[in-house]
């Protein structure tokens, strides 16, 4: 006997206060197939994640392929020998990348050189029947195809241990069967490979050599399928599993039997005729026809993405049909859905969607109450109905809980209670039981049966579970947008001459499938690649992995129109906005005069204002009240009053008074106006003095020559354009980079960092480089805008500016990387980075006030922020005509940021999930 | 009647949801308290701590007297440097102003030779350069006058400058209210848009649509609920943060301002809904938000005067309610304008908001029809 592939000793795992695994001991043989069975949320995924090295071990010892996974060296050494396909269809794939691009990405991560990679990809595509679609985006694949692609990606490096977490959930039965056949073929070509898979379908579990039954974080039993059945004295694994459960959790002992319908034929209440829905050139629902009679339980059976949901949405009026028509309760749906007729029909229909659609922020009681109110139930009726449903669905104990705190099964019941609160005649349920354990499913079906048989509600329910479909009065088999068969489950089975509904479905699928299933190609060449893959630590491999991430990132950004537009046009647009928006040029000031004198002397006073480019004269003022009124309305920035007798008083030396009122609501503007007015006063007095050639005035004793350096005509744009450049080159690249990394966390593809040979440094640098390139493009666009639109040329050395920009964007994208190690959602990354970059840049980096004017904490922040230094390089090269040597200290300081930020990001980024 | 009741209950649902969203509540509280307080005390709009160097080739009593008159808070203590240090000091941005006293400055003043003082200004310090020059010019004139013992009353004309509405030109008065206005724009867009996107992501919107409700009711519920939250936040912020903590004197009628804010919120919440229908996901919404909210805030006259913009841009901004909002907020709160003075801006805000609401509602209906 060979050494076990996996050995677990007292392994425990917790998420916060929730215990996922408790003291698991397990030994799995090498070269075999092991199935982990159990309902959702019992710890299967945690167990697989730990074995794959994707999760950090909290307690106990996990030995995989002859070493302890807690030892980082061993983990890195064996990770090229392990392949891990996480739960959720294609969760580690990239939806925006094509089939081939996804495969090439994984090939690069495992260090495969080009020729070898291509050969391997061709092999795998042929073996899985994906070869006709190398250029299709992963996001556009059907569930079955996506799952095959996931498998190809997992197998690209020829692993010794293949870990599959619920690989077939939600996939049609034919694809499921093909998938397991494919695994068998792969194993035939590579006998040493150990396959470890989890599944929620008990019928699939029969395929495995060994089984591990898991419940509530602990192992219930291990053994071959035959052993488990024999031990519990049952004839199916489903029954065996329930028998293995502790007594109080086995649920109703009485098997569910739905009584037959009282009348075999009733009036149809839902009718679909030639119902078709297209999204672009993709036909989701293709001429579907069926009739559902009053009181019937009608099942819709099919895989994820086969058109079940779309059909149901058309029947509820959520989606208009592209073609064909549908009638609900005798009225046409679709057009006029918002009209009174449509609204009236809606009162008679209840709907429960896949996601349960409860308000997570409202308590159970509030959810029920809200729905009752929105259906317009009057007060008495509402209270009565709510109380009845609480009783009927067993919700009394959870009334004040939030739905998210409840187990899935209870949430599902609540969802049903909400859907029937208004006593609908028809109930449309879209996959109401997915993800719920068998016992809760059983209880749910008892409720449905009661609704149908006792209250006469017509139920239209979709599912991908065969045993649920078998309970319906009639079923429609759906695949690729078409109904393949529609009859009672028994009739469908008989007409296909099959033993079970599943076999009948597969027979129908094979009939309907336009493309033949892959004609059992030989096992892919399994040797050759394996040895090459082992040498992952060579230098070229590191660059290849880095390049894999860079390429992937670049492709993804290019294919997301909003991100692409934001990254390329965002800065240009904001550069224009900021250029026009932040201006300290105070010009075109409206003023008006109350000239009570109208003499030559008063005109002399006003000449100064009339000749100034800063002021625009408005119609004269009538009186003092007019001054107040027009200033208050904001029509005037300043008002001037020359009193009657001004000229006479001036000549007689009586020192007449000139009154000036300035609108102080915008202090900076008012301050500047005061400066202008005093300047004009000096000129005027000087003029007076010269004419009188009398006494010397203090202002005239010395002359102040003001020289505006760097910006002779003192246009604020000359300073603002280069400053805005610095602001936008921190703001936008940091946000884009942060969102880019966090996106992987949110989508789940971060797992690839955890379980492939890529290091954190390669991952981060690879992610960063495309954004550095984007930022440099942005930089050039902004320089062009500054030069061409705002007329602010680069007076100093352009190469110096470019070099400074490059070092700067390395630092600013580095800020994004660092932010992304903290944040968990894209929204948090976005707003967090926006605030943390914009505030210090605007307030502390010299954009508005020079850093030399800052004090204390503000100056410290300014010193520690890269924008401070690039601001000087940018302003220096643009307007001060400085060269590299003049800016050497700024360059030296700026160059420090990138390595420090990168090291910090590498240290803070987790290499494994918790 | 049932229609109105449904709008009311849906709106109450929004409020209850908000109560359970600590991040959003935190954001609202921050935006209407701390953010305003720090902005008011943060970047001053007036001359503060300007760095000055003095090249004193005269070393006289007069030059010393002038140098010592450059006082805080407007100026940092002036630094004495040599003539050949000017370039390096200004290139590196260490000094924004350099005042150069020529040799024999005092003697020339006394002899009536009208000597020249050189004032070097770093004109890339946009905010300080202009005002600082005016300050320094005035200080030099005063000090020389004081030194020569010239009577202040000597000029033949007495020019009295009065600053209306904010006599001490305290920049906190301006920045606090303008930050409040900008945060109204930001928060109302985020609150409504995020509420809609969350509802779409959780699939609850479908649930509403299979009920006897119209898209218009759903949208109106979000508009009134988000609008109400922001309106209350504005009222509290104005009363507690701005009037009490920052001691800003509000000149006009607060109810009138709040009424105008309500009109503006009709626009900004519709805008939030509209952006949410454009975005496919929350992150896309965030990026769109930045591209829309930032320019609205920058260009509406709440930062720098709208008349500094090119004329075409000014005309364009007349179509954006935030420009009118800023205009009537300044008129009411700073200058004490009444309804008779601001009704044109109110009318413009209401008109554009109404049009935009109709547009957003149409778009909302279409986007809901296209969901699938």
**Burial group, residue B112, by CB count within 10 angstroms (0-12, 13-18, 19+):** exposed
Angle at A168 between CA A166 and CA A173, to 5 degrees: 155
| Per-window interface: A 388-407 vs B, CB < 8 A | 402
3-state secondary structure (DSSP) of residue B205: helix
Average pLDDT over residues A435-457: 84
The edge-to-edge listing of strands for the beta sheet with A6-15 is A18-28, A6-15, A59-64
Is B372 within 8 Å of chain A by CB? yes
Tell me, yes or no, if A346 comes closer than 8 A to chain B by beta carbon. Answer: yes
Contact A54, A912 (CB under 8 A): yes
Mean pLDDT over B49-68 rounds to 92
Per-residue pLDDT averaged across B151-159, rounded? 65
CA-CA distance, A548 to A542, in Å (whole number)?
10
User: pTM for this structure?
Assistant: 0.84
- The β-bridge relationship of strands A6-15 and A59-64 is antiparallel
pLDDT for position A514: 56
For residue B307, give the DSSP letter.
G
What span, in angstroms and rounded, lies between the C-alpha atoms of B141 and A697? 10
User: What pLDDT is stored for residue B32 in this prediction?
Assistant: 93
Q: What is the topology classification, in CATH, of domain B52-148?
A: abc type-2 transporter like fold (3.40.1710)
Instruction: Give the number of C-alpha atoms closer than 13 A to the C-alpha of residue A457, restricted to the C-beta side.
Output: 27
Going by pLDDT thresholds of 50, 70 and 90, the confidence category of residue B114 is confident
pLDDT the model gives residue A252: 61
Question: A90-104, A258-272, A773-787, A895-909: which has the minimum mean pLDDT?
Answer: A258-272
Q: How many CB pairs under 8 A join A and B?
A: 398
Partner residue opposite A698 with nearest CB, options B148, B174, B208: B148
* pLDDT tens by residue, A301-341: 887 778 888 888 888 888 888 888 888 888 888 654 444 45
A792 close to A721: Cβ distance less than 8 angstroms:
yes
pLDDT at A661: 93
Domains in chain A: boundaries: 6-250, 268-512, 568-579+728-908, 589-700
Q: Per the CB < 8 Å rule, is B20 touching A402? A: yes
Pair A134, A165: CB distance under 8 Å: no
The answer to whether A45 and A206 have CB atoms below 8 angstroms apart is no
> Is the pLDDT assigned to residue A411 strictly greater than 90?
no
Residues 548-567 of A with CB under 8 A from B: 562-563, 566
> Which residues contact residue A189 at a Cβ distance below 8 angstroms, ignoring those fewer than 6 apart?
A522, A523, A524, A525, A526
pLDDT at A698 over 70: no
Give the pLDDT band of residue A407 (cuts 50, 70, 90).
confident
Look over chain A and give the mean of its residue pLDDT values, rounded to a whole number: 85
Tokens at A574, concatenated:
């904001």
For B48, nearest residue in chain A (alpha carbons): A853
A268-512: in CATH 2.60.120.10: no
Q: What is the pLDDT of residue A694?
A: 52
Q: Residue A630 has which token pair?
A: 């027009």
pLDDT average, residue stretch A410-422: 88
Residues, chain A: 914
B1 touches chain A (CB under 8 A): no
Round to whole Å and give the CA distance between A491 and A185.
Answer: 34
B304, B367, B368, best to mutate vs chain A, most A CBs in 10 Å: B304
Contact (CB<8Å) B283/A827: yes
Query: CA A97, CA A118: separation in Å to the nearest integer?
Result: 17
CB of B172 closer than 8 Å to CB of B137: no
Closest CA to A533 of A53, A83, A33: A83
Q: Where in chain B is the domain with CATH 3.40.1710.10?
A: 52-148
Q: What percent of chain A has pLDDT over 70?
A: 94
CATH architecture of A6-250: 3-Layer(aba) Sandwich (3.40)
The residue in chain A having the minimum alpha-carbon distance to the alpha carbon of residue B135 is A675
- Chain A hits for B283, CB-CB cut-off 8 Å, are 739, 743, 826-827, 830
Inter-CA distances, B262 with A620, A630, A724, B26, Å: 36, 26, 34, 22
Q: Would you state the pLDDT for residue B151?
A: 54
Between chains, do A701 and B290 touch, taking CB under 8 Å as contact? Answer: no
Q: Tell me, what's the pLDDT at A103?
A: 94
Read off the pLDDT of each residue in B105-134 and give the average, rounded to a whole number. Answer: 87
* Model confidence at A820: pLDDT above 60: yes
Q: Assess whether pLDDT exceeds 80 at residue A228.
A: yes
In the structure, what pLDDT confidence band is assigned to residue B43 with cuts at 50, 70 and 90?
low
Q: B370 falls in which pLDDT band (50, 70, 90)?
A: low
Compute the distance between CA of residue A576 and CA of residue A861 in angstroms, rounded to an integer: 28
Question: What's the token pair of residue A791?
Answer: 């007329």
Categorize the per-residue pLDDT at A251 as very low, low, confident or very high, splitting at 50, 70 and 90.
low
- Nearest Cα to Cα of residue A601 among A471, A688, A693, A479: A688
Q: Which two tokens stand for residue B136?
A: 């320094």
Specify the pLDDT at position B161.
86
Residue among A415, A174, A172 at smallest CA distance from A307: A172
pLDDT tens, A457-485?
Answer: 999 999 888 888 888 999 998 888 888 88
Give B236 to chain A, closest Cα distance, Å.
Answer: 22
- Mean pLDDT across A24-53: 88
Q: What is the distance between the alpha carbons of residues A202 and A236, in angstroms, rounded to a whole number?
A: 8
Tell me the mean pLDDT in the region A428-438.
Answer: 80
pLDDT for A535 equals 47
DSSP per-residue codes, B262-278: HHHHHHHHHHHHHHHHH
Least Cα separation, residue B266 to chain A (angstroms)? 23
Please choose, from the candidates A81, A717, A576, A424, the residue with its C-alpha nearest in 3D space to the C-alpha of residue B126: A717
Distance CA B145, CA B66 (A): 11
Both tokens assigned to A877: 């090269």
Q: What are the b/e assignments for B5-30, b being 16+ CB within 10 Å?
A: ebbbbbbebbebbbeebeebeebbee
From the CA of B352, how many Å to the nearest CA of chain A?
21
Given CATH 3.40.1710.10, say whether it is the number of domain A589-700.
yes
Report residue B147's pLDDT band, with 50, 70 and 90 as the boundaries: confident
- CA neighbor of B274 nearest in space, from B206, B219, B354, B201: B219
B25 touches chain A (CB under 8 A): no
**Could you report the per-residue pLDDT of A504-557, keeping only the tens digit for each?**
888 888 887 655 444 444 444 444 444 444 444 567 888 999 999 999 999 988
Asked if the Cβ–Cβ distance from A685 to B365 is below 8 Å, we say no
Q: Strand, coil or helix: what is B186?
A: helix
Residue A537: count of CB within 10 angstroms of its CB: 12
Contact assessment for residue A368 and residue A386, using Cβ atoms and an 8 Å cutoff: yes
CA dist., res. A810 & res. A899, Å (int)? 9
- Count the residues in chain B: 372
Is residue A129 within 8 Å of A152, Cβ to Cβ? Answer: no
Are A6-250 and A589-700 in the same CATH fold?
A: no
Q: Virtual CA dihedral for B1, B6, B7, B11, nearest 10 degrees?
A: 140
Out of A35-49, A77-91, A338-352, least confident range: A338-352
Q: Which helix (DSSP H) or strand (DSSP E) does residue A709 occupy?
A: strand A703-709
Please state the φ and ψ torsions of residue A616, each to the nearest 5 degrees. Answer: -125, 125
Residue A114 token pair: 């080009």
Rounded Cα gap, residues A326 and B1, in angstroms? 31
Candidates B216, B205, B97, B322; CA nearest to A704 is B97
Q: Are residues A658 and B122, on separate chains, in Cβ contact within 8 Å?
A: no
The interface predicted TM-score of the complex, written ipTM, equals 0.88
Asked if A579 has any chain B CB less than 8 Å from its own CB, the reply is no
> What does the alpha-carbon distance between residue A898 and residue A890 come to, in Å, rounded to a whole number?
14
Q: Do A313 and B279 touch (CB under 8 A)?
A: no
From chain A residues 598-617, the ones with a CB under 8 A of any chain B CB are 605
């Amino acid at each position: 006997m060979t050494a076990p592939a996996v050995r677990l000793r007292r392994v425990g795992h917790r998420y916060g206060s929730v215990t996922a695994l408790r003291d698991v001991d397990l030994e799995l043989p090498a070269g075999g197939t092991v199935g982990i069975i159990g309902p959702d949320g019992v710890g299967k995924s945690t167990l697989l994640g730990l074995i794959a090295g994707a999760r950090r071990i909290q307690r106990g010892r996990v030995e995989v392929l002859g070493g302890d996974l807690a030892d980082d060296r061993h983990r890195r050494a064996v990770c090229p020998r392990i392949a891990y396909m996480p739960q959720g269809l294609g969760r580690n794939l990239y939806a925006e990348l094509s089939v081939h691009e996804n495969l090439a990405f994984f090939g690069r991560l495992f260090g495969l050189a080009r020729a070898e990679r291509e050969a391997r990809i061709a092999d795998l595509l042929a073996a899985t029947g994906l070869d006709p679609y190398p250029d299709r985006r992963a996001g556009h694949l059907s569930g079955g195809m996506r799952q095959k692609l996931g498998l190809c990606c997992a197998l690209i490096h020829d692993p010794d241990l293949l870990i599959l977490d619920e690989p077939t959930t939600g996939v049609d039965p034919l694809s499921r069967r093909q998938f397991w056949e494919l695994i068998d073929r792969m194993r035939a070509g590579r006998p040493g490979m150990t396959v470890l898979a989890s599944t929620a379908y008990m019928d699939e579990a029969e395929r495995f050599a060994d089984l591990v039954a898991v419940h509530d974080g602990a192992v219930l039993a291990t053994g071959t399928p035959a052993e488990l059945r024999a031990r519990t004295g049952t004839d199916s694994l489903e029954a065996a599993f329930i028998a293995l459960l502790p007594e109080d959790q086995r649920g109703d002992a009485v098997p569910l039997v739905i009584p037959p319908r009282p009348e075999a034929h009733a009036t149809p209440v839902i009718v679909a005729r030639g119902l078709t829905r297209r999204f672009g050139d993709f036909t989701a629902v293709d001429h579907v026809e069926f009739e559902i009679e009053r009181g019937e339980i009608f099942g819709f059976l099919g895989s994820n993405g086969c058109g079940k949901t779309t059909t149901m949405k058309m029947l509820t009026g959520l989606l208009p049909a592209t073609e064909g028509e549908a009638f609900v309760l005798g009225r046409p749906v679709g057009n006029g859905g918002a009209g009174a007729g449509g609204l009236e029909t809606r009162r008679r229909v209840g709907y429960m969607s896949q996601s349960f659609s409860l308000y997570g922020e409202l308590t159970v009681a509030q959810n029920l109450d809200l729905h009752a109110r929105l259906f317009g139930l009057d007060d008495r009726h509402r209270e009565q109905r709510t109380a009845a449903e609480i009783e009927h669905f067993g919700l009394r104990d959870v009334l004040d809980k939030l739905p998210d705190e409840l187990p899935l099964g209870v949430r599902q019941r609540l969802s049903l209670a909400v859907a029937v609160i208004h006593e609908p005649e028809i109930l449309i349920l879209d996959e109401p039981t997915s993800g719920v354990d068998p016992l809760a499913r059983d209880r749910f079906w008892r409720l449905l049966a009661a609704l149908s048989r006792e209250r006469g509600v017509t139920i239209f329910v979709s599912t991908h579970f065969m045993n649920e479909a078998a309970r319906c009065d009639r079923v429609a088999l759906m695949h690729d947008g078409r109904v393949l068969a529609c009859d009672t489950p028994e009739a469908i089975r008989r007409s296909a001459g099959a033993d079970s509904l599943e076999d009948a479905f597969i027979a129908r699928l094979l009939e309907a499938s336009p493309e033949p299933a892959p004609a059992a190609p030989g096992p892919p060449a399994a040797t050759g690649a394996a040895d090459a893959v082992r040498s992952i630590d060579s230098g070229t491999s590191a660059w290849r992995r880095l390049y894999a991430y860079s390429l992937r990132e670049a492709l993804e950004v290019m294919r997301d129109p909003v991100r692409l537009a934001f990254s390329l046009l965002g800065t240009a647009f904001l550069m224009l906005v900021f250029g026009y928006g932040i201006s300290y040029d105070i010009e075109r000031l409206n003023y008006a005069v109350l000239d009570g004198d109208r003499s030559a002397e008063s005109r002399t006073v006003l000449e100064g204002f009339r000749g100034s480019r800063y002021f625009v004269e408005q119609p004269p003022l009538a009186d003092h009240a007019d001054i107040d009124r027009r200033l208050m309305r904001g029509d005037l920035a300043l008002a001037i009053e020359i009193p009657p007798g001004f000229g006479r008083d001036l000549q007689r030396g009586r020192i007449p008074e000139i009154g000036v009122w300035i609108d102080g609501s915008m202090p900076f503007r008012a301050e500047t106006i005061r400066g202008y007015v005093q300047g004009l006063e000096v000129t005027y007095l000087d003029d007076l003095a010269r004419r009188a050639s009398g006494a010397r005035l203090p202002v005239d004793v010395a002359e102040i020559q003001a020289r505006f350096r760097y910006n002779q005509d003192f246009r604020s744009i000359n300073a603002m354009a280069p400053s805005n450049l610095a602001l936008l080159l921190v703001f936008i690249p940091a946000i884009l980079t942060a969102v880019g990394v966090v996106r992987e966390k949110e989508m789940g593809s971060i797992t690839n960092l955890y379980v492939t040979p890529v290091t954190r440094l390669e991952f981060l640098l690879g992610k960063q480089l495309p954004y550095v390139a984007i930022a440099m493009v942005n930089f050039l666009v902004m320089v062009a805008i500054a030069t061409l639109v705002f007329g602010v040329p680069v007076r100093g050395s352009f190469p110096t500016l470019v070099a400074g920009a490059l070092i700067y964007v390395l630092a600013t994208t580095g800020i994004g990387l660092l932010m992304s190690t903290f944040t968990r959602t894209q929204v948090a990354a976005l707003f967090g980075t926006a605030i943390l970059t914009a505030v210090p840049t605007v307030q502390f980096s010299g954009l508005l006030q020079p850093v030399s004017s800052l004090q204390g904490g503000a100056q410290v922040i300014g010193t520690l922020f890269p924008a401070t230094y690039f601001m000087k390089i940018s302003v220096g090269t643009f307007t001060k005509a400085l060269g590299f040597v003049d800016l050497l200290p700024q360059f030296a300081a700026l160059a420090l940021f990138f390595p420090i930020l990168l090291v910090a990001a590498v240290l803070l980024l987790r290499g494994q999930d918790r | 009647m049932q229609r109105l009741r449904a709008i009311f209950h849906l709106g109450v649902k929004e409020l209850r949801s908000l109560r359970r969203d600590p991040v959003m509540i935190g954001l609202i509280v921050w935006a209407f308290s701390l953010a305003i307080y720090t902005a008011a005390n943060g970047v001053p709009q007036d001359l503060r701590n300007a760095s000055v160097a003095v090249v004193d080739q005269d070393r006289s009593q007069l030059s010393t007297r002038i140098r010592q008159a450059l006082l805080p808070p407007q100026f940092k203590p002036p630094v004495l440097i040599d003539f050949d240090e000017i370039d390096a000091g200004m290139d590196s941005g260490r000094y924004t102003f350099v005042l150069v006293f020529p040799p024999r400055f005092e003697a020339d003043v006394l002899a009536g030779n009208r000597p020249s003082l050189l004032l070097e200004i770093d004109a890339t310090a946009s905010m300080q350069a202009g005002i600082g020059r005016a300050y320094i010019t005035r200080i030099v004139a005063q000090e020389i006058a004081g030194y020569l013992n010239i009577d202040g009353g000597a000029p033949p004309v007495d020019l009295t400058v009065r600053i209306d509405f904010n006599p001490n030109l305290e920049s906190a008065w301006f920045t606090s209210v303008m930050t409040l206005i900008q945060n109204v724009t930001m928060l109302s867009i985020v609150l409504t848009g995020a509420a809609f996107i969350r509802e779409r992501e959780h699939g609850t919107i479908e649930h509403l649509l299979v009920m006897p409700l119209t898209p218009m009711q759903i949208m109106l519920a979000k508009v009134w609920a988000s609008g109400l939250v922001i309106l209350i936040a504005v009222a509290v912020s104005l009363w507690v943060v701005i009037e009490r903590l920052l001691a800003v004197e509000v000149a006009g009628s607060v109810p009138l301002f709040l009424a105008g804010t309500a009109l503006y919120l009709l626009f900004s919440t519709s805008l939030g809904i509209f952006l949410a229908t454009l975005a496919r996901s929350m992150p896309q919404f965030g990026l769109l938000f930045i591209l829309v909210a930032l320019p609205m805030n920058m260009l509406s006259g709440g930062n720098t005067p709208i008349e500094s913009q090119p004329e075409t841009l000014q005309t364009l901004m007349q179509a954006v309610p935030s420009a009118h909002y800023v205009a009537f907020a300044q008129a009411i709160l700073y200058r004490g304008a009444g309804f008779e003075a601001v009704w044109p801006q109110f009318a413009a805000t209401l008109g554009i908001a109404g049009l935009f609401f109709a547009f957003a509602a149409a778009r909302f209906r279409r986007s809901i029809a296209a969901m699938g």
